[in-house]
Amino acid sequence: MQSTKAPKKTANSSSMLEKAKRTKSARQFAGLTREEMNTRHDIPPSTLRGWESPGSLRNQGLTLKGAQRLANALQKEGVLCSVEWLMEGTGVGPQFMAPSIEADAESTQKITNGTLLWGPYLAIQNEILCFEKNNPDAIVMMVSDNGLTPFYSPGEYVGGIKKYQKNIAALIGSYCIVETSTQEILVRKLCLGKKADTFTLVCENQTSIEQPSLTNVKLNWAAPIIWHRKPG
């Protein structure tokens, strides 16, 4: 009689899945579909699919050569992403190549398009503008509570691309920016609700004064966090 138990995940398979998630996240950060990666950088959708969804014996996911190829393509799109981050999760993760800004001698104030910006925040502001330009359905916000500290702390910036309706279910287990049916926007871990078409929004910081979880919440949209910056 054959066993019905699912095969255990090995450390190698877990590492492969994490690498696949980073690969997909980097492409989405640049605002490119697989088809656009093909037409603009000659990386076929089938190749990207293999990098982003590994698992078979013949498909071991992103290789070092593939990571170099992807990093070069991203750089042409104005996105800096190191090969080390793609392969191992270390080094420089996806970020827009904002111009370097030197502080004035008397002040760190900068004025861009009539808007007053402070030096430490100017590079982040430039990244936000690029992120929103590359992703028409993007959402960027400043974290306002410590519900997910130390992962995302108050004053830090997070961004993602909105998913709607049935596509939200694929984000279960992810850290997301969400908008509830009452139009409250939160940064929480997304879990399945007990009622149909609802979700549970979880705080993972046990010392937070925020409510540990909101259950059976209906969402207008959810955006998995793929962009994160700390000011200063």
For residue 202, pLDDT over 60 is answered with yes
Q: Indicate which CATH number applies to the domain containing 220.
A: 2.10.109.10
Is the domain of 130 the same as that of 161?
no
For residue 114, pLDDT over 80 is answered with no
Rounded CA separation 187/145 (Å): 9
Model-wide pTM > 0.95? no
Give per-residue pLDDT as tens, 55-112. Answer: 654 667 899 999 999 998 988 888 888 888 899 888 778 887 754 433 333 333 333 3
Is the domain of 118 the same as that of 63?
no
Is the domain of 145 the same as that of 224?
yes
Residue 102: what pLDDT?
A: 39
Q: Would 117 be classed as within a structural domain? A: yes
Is the domain of 195 the same as that of 217?
yes
Q: Which range marks the domain in which residue 159 is found?
A: 136-229
Distance, C-alpha 94 to centroid of its chain: 9
> What percent of the chain has pLDDT above 70?
80
* 154-to-7, 151, 157, 194, 208 alpha-carbon distances in Å: 40, 10, 9, 29, 12
> What percent of the chain has pLDDT above 90?
42
Ramachandran sector of residue 210 (left: φ over 0; alpha: ψ -120 to 50; beta: rest): beta
Is the domain of 73 the same as that of 140?
no
Beta-bridge partners for 109: 118
Is the domain of 142 the same as that of 220?
yes
Is the domain of 126 the same as that of 149?
no
Q: What number of other Cβ atoms are within 10 A of residue 158's Cβ?
A: 22
Q: Would 3 be classed as within a structural domain? A: no
Q: 184-208: string of b/e by CB count within 10 Å (b at 16+)?
A: eebbbbbeebeeeeebbbbbbbeee
* 142-to-37, 84, 156 alpha-carbon distances in Å: 30, 28, 6
Nearest to 147 by CA among 184, 182, 183, 189: 189
Q: Under 8 Å CB-to-CB from 226, ≥6 apart: which residues?
A: 25, 28, 29, 94, 159, 160, 161
Least confident of 1-5, 52-56, 186-190: 1-5
Ramachandran sector of residue 114 (left: φ over 0; alpha: ψ -120 to 50; beta: rest): left
Q: Would 5 be classed as within a structural domain? A: no
Q: How many domains would you assign to the chain?
A: 3
